[in-house]
Amino acid sequence: MHISLTPELETRIRSRVESGLYNNASEVIREALRFMDTHEDWIHEIKLAHLREQLKAGIDQLDQGEGIAIKSKSALDKLFEDIKK
**Is the per-residue pLDDT at 85 higher than 90?**
no
Q: Count of domains in the chain?
A: 1
The answer to whether residue 68 sits within a structural domain is: yes
Residue-number span of the structural domain to which 26 is assigned: 7-84
Question: Residues 23-82: pLDDT tens digits?
Answer: 999 999 999 999 999 999 999 999 999 999 999 999 999 999 998 889 999 999 998 999
Whether 2 maps to a domain, the answer reads: no
Whole-model pTM?
A: 0.61
pLDDT tens-digit readout, 9-22? 999 999 999 999 99
Side-chain half-sphere CA neighbours of 79 within 13 A: 10
Which residues 6+ apart lie within 8 Å of 5 measured at CB? 13
25 found inside a domain: yes
Q: Residue-wise over 20-39: b if at least 16 C-beta within 10 A, else e?
A: eebeeeeebeeeeeeeeeee
